[in-house]
Chain A
Amino acid sequence: ETVLTQSPATLSLSPGERATLSCRASQSVGIALAWYQHKPGQAPSLLIYEASNRATGIPGRFSGSGSGTDFTLTIDSLEPEDSAVYYCQHRGSWPLTFGGGTKVEIK
């Protein structure tokens, strides 16, 4: 099983700042990694797939990078609606796993 470790657990930033979220895999997953945004009371939504490809309709301020075991989600110029929990997920092998999440709070 591939364990995904996300850091930090919580990020508190002001509007306009940049958020940098990390996801580290216990073994290489190549680029088979996705990022999701999850707001309370809503379904999770896909942001990034294959490590760096934005999903349909996702604003350009969201970007993903990395390969192997180290991945980063960057949110440029934070907006109030970006307040959410962000999860990484690998698809490299069964069982699929999610990271523990990073909560982004907007001051």
Chain B
Amino acid sequence: EVQVLESGGGLVEPGGSLRLSCAASEFSVGSCVVSWIRQIPGKGLEWVSAIVARGETHYIDSVKGRFTISRDTSQNTVSLQMNNLRVDDTAIYYCAKGRPSASIFDYWGQGTLVTVSS
């Protein structure tokens, strides 16, 4: 059964760093798009970052230069390194697997909460 499991969320002060991890089961992170998508409390979904099968990475403008997505195909994981965190980065972060050759997400994890607060 395809599964996606996030970890690494927590409470951090503004300007701090966190590293989120996404562990994949029954699919290869090197063969599809894997994205991080967040939901700010009380708000809608916001796509944050993606790494595609060819290894290209993409980011929403508000996190460029602060967040870095990467993958480890030997561990079958995707990570999101988040630096210089801001209060408005507070959200539930979901990892999601893309359908074959498409950035449409057919499997999502349960999410991990990131709280940025002093």
Contact = CB atoms under 8 A, between A and B. Distances in A.
Interface string A41-83: 0111110011000011000000000000000000000000000
B35 interface: yes
A98 B108 contact: no
B58 A43 contact: no
Number of contact residues on B: which range applies?
A: 20 to 34
Given A43-B94, A44-B94, A94-B58, A38 B45 contact: yes
Q: Kindly name the residue among B45, B46, B47 whose own CB sees the greatest number of chain A CB atoms within 10 A.
A: B45
Given A43-B94, A43-B110, A43-B111, A98 B104 contact: no
B14 interface: no
A85 interface: yes
A55 B106 CA distance: 8
Contacts of A56: 106
Contacts of B46: 98
A97 B58 CA distance: 12
A96 B103 contact: yes
B44 interface: yes
Contacts of B59: 95
Interface of B: 35, 37, 44-47, 50, 58-61, 94, 96, 99, 102-106, 108-111
